[in-house]
């Protein structure tokens, strides 16, 4: 039934909305305003191949330790066959220190998807794609785009084994696009994928599901509304539903739901500067069940919630004073994670993050920040310095 609903919806939603990142050339003494990911995309040449990507170096200081803790290189491969057919892929190569003093290296395929433009309202895609639940994972997670020193808890920042309340990417097919609504705009994305897998000993969802554990497919999507003609405001809602239990077990009918709501407001105000406000709420719920590790049974209401609100501000052009002031950006973010009672994974936590960014250019940033972490029992302070550049 769910797959039938998806097919009907898939056939009906043939619309395409392509936003454009506008970037204006600036003098050295002018503010370097970073791109707005919600409305920005780089135009590919008519045909051919292009290499893009970004690199990051991270320095951390916490609990008496200071380390250059992580370096990443993320090449992005773009290939355009025609105005209707293109391919994109990102690989993450990461090296970081491990507790034993060695080097831990990772090589991951972030996404690789084929895209076919059906018409000006719809683009079909297939492959491994960033999960379009809310806006953070699909639009904001790269280090040179994310304005804070780290990802919000529940959206990629790991807490006691719980990394995020959704997958980082999905494998499947989908359709995305949008339509004009007089002076407003609407965008959408709808997808079908293998979906998540439940850990039958703890109830935790796993998202690395290359081989589906049942015959059901996950269905998800997002609808965004830009009600103001200049597209400075966007409001979105997302949903995701899947059967997550293994086939032919007592968990075979176990269902998981994810709901998200997001808001983006980006505005360059004459005489005041650039204001960037973003936020997202997310809820993940798994049906009630009795989990067991073979010795102990565990039953609880398996619902976890997270949200974050972030404010960033950049000065307008200053006719007097040092030029570097025009390249600074202030960032403040509050994030909250509320984990289910008796949950064996995750932990309730609040984080308040303050940051100062220096934009050497529109795609190169140095981020310095403090993270105040409240676990309920104690408050910890962490410092990070991030060097990141897109290309």
Instruction: Write the CATH number for 69.
Output: 2.40.160.10
Q: Is the pLDDT of residue 5 over 70?
A: no
Domain of residue 283 covers 2-390
Average pLDDT over residues 102-122: 93
pLDDT tens for each residue of 329-382: 999 999 999 998 888 887 899 999 999 999 999 999 999 999 999 988 888 999
| Number of domains composing the chain | 1
Q: Is the pLDDT of residue 388 over 90?
A: yes
SS3 content of the chain, % helix, strand, coil (to 5): 5, 55, 35
Q: Is the pLDDT of residue 239 over 90?
A: yes
Q: Tell me the percentage of the chain whose pLDDT exceeds 70.
A: 87
pLDDT tens for each residue of 314-329: 988 776 667 788 899 9
What pLDDT does residue 390 have?
Answer: 95
Residue 362 CB burial class (10 angstroms; 0-12, 13-18, ≥19): middle
pTM: 0.84
- Comparing 77-81, 169-173, 249-253, the range with the smallest average pLDDT is 249-253
pLDDT band at 383 (very low <50, low <70, confident <90, very high): very high
Q: Is the pLDDT of residue 157 over 90?
A: no
Average pLDDT over residues 18-45: 44
What pLDDT does residue 321 have?
Answer: 67
State how far the Cα of 80 lies from the Cα of 117, in Å rounded to an integer: 12
Q: Whose CA is closest to 371, among 347, 355, 349, 386?
A: 355
Q: What are phi and psi of 340, to 5 degrees?
A: -60, 140
What pLDDT does residue 67 have?
Answer: 86
What pLDDT does residue 376 have?
Answer: 82
Q: Is the pLDDT of residue 257 over 90?
A: yes
For residues 104 and 267, the model is more confident at 267
pLDDT band at 12 (very low <50, low <70, confident <90, very high): very low
Q: Which letter, b or e, does each residue of 222-245 get, where b requires 16 or more Cβ atoms within 10 Å of its Cβ?
A: bbbbbeeeebbbbebebebbbbbb
Instruction: Give me the helices (H) in the chain, please.
Output: 2-12
What pLDDT does residue 7 have?
Answer: 41
State how far the Cα of 16 lies from the Cα of 19, in Å rounded to an integer: 10
Which residues are registered as beta bridge partners of 281?
261, 307
pLDDT band at 2 (very low <50, low <70, confident <90, very high): very low
CA dihedral 236, 151, 365, 129 (to 10 degrees): -60
Q: Whose CA is closest to 167, among 124, 201, 210?
A: 210
pLDDT tens for each residue of 163-212: 789 999 999 999 999 999 999 999 999 999 999 998 888 888 888 777 78
Q: Whose CA is closest to 176, among 263, 228, 244, 113?
A: 113
3-class DSSP state of 42: coil
For residues 25 and 151, the model is more confident at 151
Q: Whose CA is closest to 332, among 266, 391, 278?
A: 278
32 contacts 360 by C-beta, under 8 angstroms = yes
State how far the Cα of 101 lies from the Cα of 122, in Å rounded to an integer: 50
What pLDDT does residue 179 have?
Answer: 92
């Amino acid at each position: 039934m769910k797959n039938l609903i998806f097919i009907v919806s898939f056939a009906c939603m043939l619309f395409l909305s392509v936003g454009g990142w506008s970037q204006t050339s600036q003098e050295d003494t002018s503010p370097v305003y970073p791109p707005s990911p919600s409305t920005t995309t780089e135009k590919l040449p008519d045909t051919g191949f292009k290499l893009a990507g970004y690199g990051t170096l991270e320095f951390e200081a916490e609990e008496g330790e200071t380390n250059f803790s992580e370096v990443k290189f993320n090449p992005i491969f773009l290939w355009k066959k025609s105005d209707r057919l293109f391919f994109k892929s990102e690989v993450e190569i990461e090296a970081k220190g491990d507790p034993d003093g060695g080097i831990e290296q990772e090589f991951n395929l972030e996404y690789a998807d084929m895209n076919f433009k059906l018409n000006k309202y719809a683009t079909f895609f297939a492959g491994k794609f960033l999960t379009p639940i809310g806006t953070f994972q699909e639009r904001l997670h790269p280090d040179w785009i994310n304005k804070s020193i780290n990802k919000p808890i529940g959206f990629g920042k790991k807490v006691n084994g719980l990394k995020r309340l959704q997958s980082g990417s999905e494998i499947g097919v989908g359709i995305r696009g949008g339509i004009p609504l007089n002076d407003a705009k609407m965008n959408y994305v709808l997808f079908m994928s293998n979906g998540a897998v439940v850990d039958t000993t703890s109830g935790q969802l796993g998202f690395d599901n290359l081989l589906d554990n049942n015959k059901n497919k996950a269905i998800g999507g997002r609808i965004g509304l830009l009600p103001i003609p200049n597209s400075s405001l966007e409001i979105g809602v997302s949903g995701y539903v899947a059967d997550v239990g293994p086939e032919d077990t007592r968990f075979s009918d176990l269902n998981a739901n994810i709901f998200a709501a997001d808001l983006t407001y980006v505005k360059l105000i004459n005489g005041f500067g650039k204001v960037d406000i973003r936020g997202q709420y997310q809820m993940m719920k798994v049906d009630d069940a009795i989990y067991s590790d073979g010795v102990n049974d565990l039953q609880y209401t398996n619902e976890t919630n997270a949200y974050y609100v972030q404010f960033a501000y950049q000065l307008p052009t200053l006719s007097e004073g040092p030029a570097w002031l025009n390249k600074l950006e202030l960032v403040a973010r509050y994030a909250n994670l509320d984990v289910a009672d008796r949950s064996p994974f995750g932990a309730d936590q609040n984080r308040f993050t303050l940051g100062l960014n220096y934009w050497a250019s529109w795609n190169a940033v140095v981020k310095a920040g403090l993270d105040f972490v409240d676990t309920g029992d104690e408050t910890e302070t962490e410092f990070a310095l991030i060097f990141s550049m897109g290309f």
